[in-house]
Amino acid sequence: MLSNQHCSSSIEGAATDWRQAVDHEIAALGWTDGTRVEQLDESVTIFTIDTFIAKALQRQQEGPATFSLSVYLEGRGALSINGAKPLTIGPRVAAVFASPRFARGEMVIPAAQRLHFIDLRFEQPFLMKVGGEPLARLGGDLLTEHSVPEQDVFLVGLASPAALQQTAWDIARCQLPDGLARRLYLHSKAIESLSIVVDALCRRSAGSSTIKAHERLRVERAQQLISTRYDLDWTIARLSREVGLNERKLKHGFRQIVGNSVHSYLRQVRLDAAASLLRDGHSVTHAALSVGFDSLSHFSKIFTEVKGVAPSRYRQQF
């Protein structure tokens, strides 16, 4: 996780945003000479970073939406998203980071060590094409202390399987000259790496899924309440009391069954309802207040971020 995204109305714009953020971060850290960038096609980019950390680093990071898979070969440190606990990184550790919007965090790397890792970036259209929403939100159903699910920002760490470590070393040690053969080889290794991680996380998710029948009914009731009464001020605590399920089980069950956090689902329902009102000719203020937003500026910011267009302009399209 070198840098983390802001949704753009154009695919090219989104790609440029995260790439500029990563390039800027690498330069700011002084890692340019130790970094090799492989832009394999419009879908996959590989960063191979091998540098010596002379002075301890504690750096705040921020950046636009991205999906990354990092495999650490040498060196130790910690990564964190603002509002979540740090994830310890080191040899034989892999980290998946996924965020559909601008995110902030921190990187801490101790001094006097070699830092060597592979950072794979996959574009959202590619993820949606090959795996749909479950792949684009990989790790989202695992409620780890390193993620901020209320913001749809996920950082998931895992012990890197031997096969994943091998593919990472294969990428790092690739001796093929620049050209088609090298691009094909590295592209296959990037996809292989993603496949290994998908398998590992799916197994982990299946092992943690223990939703009982009566709990499922309560989660479905919570979903129904949000879908029909989205104008109310739903908090986890209020929803938990309303359906008779403790907060931890509600959050876990909601993500398992609905595929989203309570906060994110409420936001999406509200935005869809607001969009419907705007299409019917209602004002931006009426739409925002009717669906439960009490701040017009916040509504406009979130609507633009998710829908890719300002609410006033969206209204003008109909």
Query: One digit per residue, pLDDT tens: the chain, 318 residues?
Result: 565 433 333 333 444 478 888 999 999 999 999 999 999 999 999 999 999 999 999 999 888 889 999 999 999 999 999 989 999 999 999 999 988 888 899 999 999 999 999 999 999 888 888 776 666 556 555 556 888 877 778 899 989 999 999 999 999 999 999 999 999 999 999 999 999 998 888 777 665 556 788 888 999 899 999 998 999 999 999 999 999 999 988 988 887 777 678 888 898 899 989 999 999 999 999 999 999 999 999 999 989 888 888 999 999 987
The predicted pLDDT at position 307 comes to 83
* CATH superfamily, domain at 213-316: Homeodomain-like (1.10.10.60)
CA atoms within 13 Å, Cβ hemisphere of 144: 23
- pLDDT (0 to 100) of residue 16: 46
Q: Which two tokens stand for residue 193?
A: 């790496």
In this prediction, residue 153 carries a pLDDT of: 86
Which pLDDT does position 15 carry in this prediction? 41
Helices (H) and strands (E) in the chain, counts: 11, 10
What is the third-level CATH fold of 11-208?
Jelly Rolls (2.60.120)
pTM (predicted TM-score): 0.70
* HSE value, Cβ hemisphere, 13 Å, CA-based, for 132: 2
Looking at residue 64, what is its pLDDT? 87
Around Cβ 159, how many Cβ atoms within 10 Å? 11
> Which ranges in the chain are annotated with CATH 2.60.120.10?
11-208
Amino acid found at 233: D
Q: What is the pLDDT of residues 174-196, one digit of tens each?
A: 999 999 999 999 999 999 999 99
Q: CATH 1.10.10.60 spans which residues of the chain? A: 213-316
Residues 124/136, Cβ–Cβ less than 8 Å = yes
